Amino acid sequence: MAYLLLSIIFNASLFVIIKLFARFNIDALQALVVNYFVASLVGFLFLDTPIVPTEIISQYWLKGSILLGFIFIATFYATTLTSQRNGLSVASVASKMSIIIPITLGVILYNEKLGFVKITGILLALIAVYFTSKKETGEVQQSSNLLYPILVFIGAGTIDASLKYLQTFHVPSEKIGLFSSITFFCAFSVGILTLIFLTIRGKIKFSARSILGGIALGLPNYFSLYYLVKMLEAKAFQSATLFTIHNISIVLVSTFVGILFFSERISLRNAFGIGLALFALFLVTY
């Protein structure tokens, strides 16, 4: 339970920091790449054992880390485009609705059984995510453009499902820190190549404030992944229950932080979503 709470706290803090990017005019892509470098560096510093490159190369999960590195960058970029083209609400809903993917794979790959009550709770949680994230103002500017929301949905779901699979079959407990660090370093490698390409084409210019933003994001980002994997390893709940609790709790925490510290207003629809989310959490943990 402690790992679940820590994962929720660190993941929710990421949304708060990213929200501050717009206020301080920070380029999100640059900050993200710096963040991945900082996250990997923090992970390497926290390792209890020395890093042996030949040992890392021989690990089966290395292929998964490389693949996740690509997915991290691609999903973030798709999320950015979704926010610009379709609105923030669509990006948020597409990301959180992706729990359908790891839940489905949990039933198929790990023979997890879901009773009527839990299935009802999961469905209500999905509805709650929509109502909690939906804004009254017309944020959806190009609702006909479904490509990027679909990519966010697939990317976020693939990340969760891949982490669960790798943790279950290939990443032992003592290697979680190394796995997290390598995964972030792979994401940084993909990101820095992307930035170099965009810089050569004159599409982007580096800024000091974006670097500072990335540094601020890097520390909690490392621990968000580390405790997510530790949470999955603990097996306190079935993965279907766990991902539902995890994602809906992040939505709730982020919403309340927005209300308390960013003076965001919630509509009657949002309030209904919050209440429905709390009821859904009760059902899935029943």
User: What would the DSSP string read from start to end of the chain?
Assistant: -HHHHHHHHHHHHHHHHHHHHHHTT--HHHHHHHHHHHHHHHHHHH-SS---HHHHHH-THHHHHHHHHHHHHHHHHHHHHHHHHT-HHHHHHHHHGGGHHHHHHHHHHS-----HHHHHHHHHHHHHHHHHH--SS---S-TT--HHHHHHHHHHHHHHHHHHHHHHHT--GGGHHHHHHHHHHHHHHHHHHHHHHHHHTT-----HHHHHHHHHHHHHHHHHHHHHHHHHHHTSS-HHHHHHHHHHHHHHHHHHHHHHHS-----HHHHHHHHHHHHHHHHHT-
Quote the number of domains for the chain: 1
Tens digits of pLDDT across the chain (286 residues) = 789 999 999 988 887 887 788 778 888 889 989 999 999 999 999 898 888 899 899 998 999 999 999 999 889 778 777 766 765 566 777 787 888 888 888 888 888 888 898 899 889 988 888 887 766 554 444 444 678 888 988 999 999 999 999 988 999 988 999 999 999 999 999 999 989 988 888 878 888 899 999 999 999 999 999 999 998 888 777 888 888 888 888 888 888 887 888 777 778 888 898 899 889 888 887 6
Query: For 246-275, how does the pLDDT look when each residue is reduced to its tens digit (9 = 90+)?
Result: 888 888 888 888 788 877 777 888 889 889
Instruction: Give me the pLDDT at residue 83, please.
Output: 66
Give the rounded distance of the alpha carbon of 190 from its chain centre. 18
Q: How many whole angstroms separate alpha carbon 23 and alpha carbon 94?
A: 24
The sign one gets for the Cα dihedral 154, 156, 159, 160 is negative
The model's pTM: 0.84
The one-letter amino acid code at 238 reads: Q
Q: Smallest Cα–Cα separation from 70: which of 168, 175, 183?
A: 183
Nearest-10 Cα torsion for 252, 256, 257, 261: 170
Query: For 17-46, how does the pLDDT look when each residue is reduced to its tens digit (9 = 90+)?
Result: 877 887 788 888 899 899 999 999 999 998
Find the domain containing 169 and state its range. 2-284
